[in-house]
C-alpha cells in the first residue's frame, strides 16, 4: 500500500502571495505552446470542453472559438457534418480536435475525416490508457500523421505519461474516475486523486518536453485554477459545460422547470445510443442525470475565466503560464462556509 500523501482539488487551497497586479484585467490567460512530437504551435486559452455527446459539439466549438478556447469534438459526427462545419466555420478549426477510439472502424473514420477536413488536433480517447494495444495505436496514428498534434489518454501516473509521449502523444489526458458522471471508481475500485495525478503527471510530461490535459474532477472555477496551479497545460471540463444550449442536449420539463439530460460516455445511456446496449461482458461505468437547464454558455465561460484571472491576482501571476511557479498549496479540511446552503439565487455564484 502506497503511503504517499495524495489528494483532490477539494483538499487544498492556494496560499496568497504579494502581487504587483492592479486588476484582474491585467492577467493574460492565452498561452503559446509548441508540441513535442508534431512540432506545431498553438495559441489560445487552454480550457477544453470534453468530447462528450452534450459538450463536445460543433455549436460549443463556435461559441468557444470567440474566446480562443478549445473543444474536443465527440466522435459521432459524420464526415459530411464535419465538412459542413469546416466550410462554415474556418475560424473555429484551429481550436478543435477530432476524436477517435481504437477500433478498426474508428481508425477508418478518422482517416476519412482527416483526408478531407483541415484539422490539426487528434484526440485518441479510451477509458483505460494503460493497455499495450492503446500504446501501439498511438504509435500507428503518429506514424500516419507525423505533423498532427495528438491528445491521448486517460492515465494517472507518471510512467504511463512518459510511455505515451514516447509513443507519439503530444498531450496526455490525466484522470481516471473523477468526472461528475463517471462511476469507474465505484464499479472497479480503480483511480487516483486528481490533484495528485496532475502534479505527478505534469512533472513527468514536462521532463520530456510534453504536455498534459487535466481531465475531470473540477466542480467550480477554483478547481480549474488549482489544476493549472498543479501544472496542467490544458484543463478539460465536462459537467461544468453541460446543460447549456450549445451542448445540443435533450431538454426535459419537469414540475415547471427545465432540465437537460447529461450522461457519461460509458453509461448505459451512451452505450444504448451508440452501440445498441451494454455488452454482456462488461458493466456501465457512467451515470445519467438531469441537470438544471443553464441557457447560453457565455455566462459560464465568463465565470470560469474570471475565477482563474482572480486566482492569478491573488498569487501574483501576470500570465497563466506563471501560475505553477507562483503556487503553494495548503491542505484544508474545509473549503467553504455553507451556512446558507450551496445554492444562490444567481446561477454562477
Bridge partners, residue 59, by sequence: none
Cell representation of residue 41: 504551435
Cell of 102: 481504437
Q: Decide if 179 contacts 264 (C-beta within 8 A).
A: yes
DSSP one-letter code for 68: T
Fill in the DSSP letter of residue 127.
Answer: S
295: left (phi over 0), alpha (psi -120 to 50) or beta: left
Provide the 3-class DSSP secondary structure of residue 248: coil
Catalytic residues: 182, 184
Q: Is the Cβ–Cβ distance between 71 and 56 less than 8 Å?
A: yes
Q: Are 153 and 173 in contact (CB under 8 A)?
A: yes
> Cell for 305?
475565466
Question: Which one, of 213, 255, 240, 220, lies nearest residue 121 by Cα?
Answer: 213
Contacts for 337 with CB less than 8 Å, ≥ 6 apart:
none
Q: How wide is the angle at C-alpha 316 spanned by C-alphas 311 and 318, nearest 5°? A: 90
Q: Would you list the DSSP string of 36-59? A: TTT--EEEE--EEE-SSTTTS-HH
Is cis: bond before 103, omega within 30 of 0?
no
CB count in 10 Å sphere of residue 229:
27
Query: How many CB atoms neighbour CB 61 within 10 A?
Result: 23
Biggest CA-to-CA distance, the chain: 60
State how far the Cα of 189 lies from the Cα of 129, in Å rounded to an integer: 16
Amino acid at each position: 500500500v502506497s503511503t504517499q500523501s495524495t489528494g483532490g482539488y477539494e483538499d487544498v487551497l492556494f496560499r496568497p502571495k504579494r502581487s504587483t497586479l492592479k486588476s484582474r484585467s491585467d492577467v493574460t490567460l492565452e498561452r503559446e505552446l509548441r508540441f513535442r512530437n508534431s512540432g506545431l504551435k498553438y495559441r489560445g486559452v487552454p480550457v477544453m470542453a470534453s468530447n462528450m455527446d452534450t459538450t463536445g459539439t460543433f455549436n460549443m466549438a463556435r461559441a468557444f472559438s470567440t474566446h480562443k478556447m478549445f473543444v474536443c469534438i465527440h466522435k459521432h459526427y459524420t464526415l459530411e457534418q464535419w465538412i459542413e462545419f469546416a466550410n462554415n466555420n474556418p475560424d473555429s478549426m484551429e481550436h478543435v480536435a477530432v476524436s477517435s477510439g481504437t477500433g478498426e472502424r474508428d481508425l477508418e473514420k478518422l482517416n476519412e475525416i482527416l483526408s478531407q477536413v483541415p484539422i490539426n488536433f487528434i484526440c485518441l480517447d479510451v477509458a483505460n490508457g494503460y493497455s499495450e494495444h492503446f500504446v501501439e495505436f498511438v504509435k500507428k496514428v503518429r506514424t500516419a500523421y507525423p505533423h498532427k498534434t495528438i491528445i491521448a489518454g486517460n492515465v494517472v501516473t507518471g510512467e504511463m505519461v512518459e510511455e505515451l509521449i514516447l509513443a507519439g502523444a503530444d498531450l496526455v489526458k490525466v484522470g481516471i474516475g473523477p468526472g461528475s458522471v463517471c462511476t469507474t471508481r465505484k464499479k472497479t475500485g480503480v483511480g487516483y486523486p486528481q490533484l495528485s495525478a496532475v502534479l505527478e503527471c505534469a512533472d513527468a510530461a514536462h521532463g520530456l518536453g510534453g504536455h498534459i490535459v487535466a481531465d475531470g474532477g473540477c466542480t467550480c472555477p477554483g478547481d480549474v485554477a488549482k489544476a493549472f496551479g498543479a501544472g496542467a497545460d490544458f484543463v478539460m471540463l465536462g459537467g461544468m459545460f453541460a446543460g447549456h444550449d450549445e451542448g445540443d442536449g435533450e431538454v426535459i420539463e419537469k414540475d415547471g422547470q427545465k432540465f437537460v439530460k447529461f450522461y457519461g460516455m460509458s453509461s448505459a445511456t451512451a452505450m444504448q445510443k451508440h452501440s445498441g446496449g451494454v455488452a454482456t461482458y462488461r458493466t456501465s461505468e457512467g451515470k445519467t442525470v438531469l441537470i438544471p437547464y443553464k441557457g447560453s454558455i457565455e455566462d459560464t465561460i465568463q465565470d470560469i475565466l474570471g475565477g482563474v484571472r482572480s486566482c492569478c491576482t491573488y498569487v501574483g501571476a501576470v500570465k497563466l503560464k506563471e501560475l505553477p511557479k507562483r503556487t503553494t498549496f495548503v491542505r484544508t479540511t474545509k473549503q467553504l462556509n455553507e451556512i446558507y446552503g450551496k445554492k444562490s439565487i444567481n446561477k454562477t455564484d
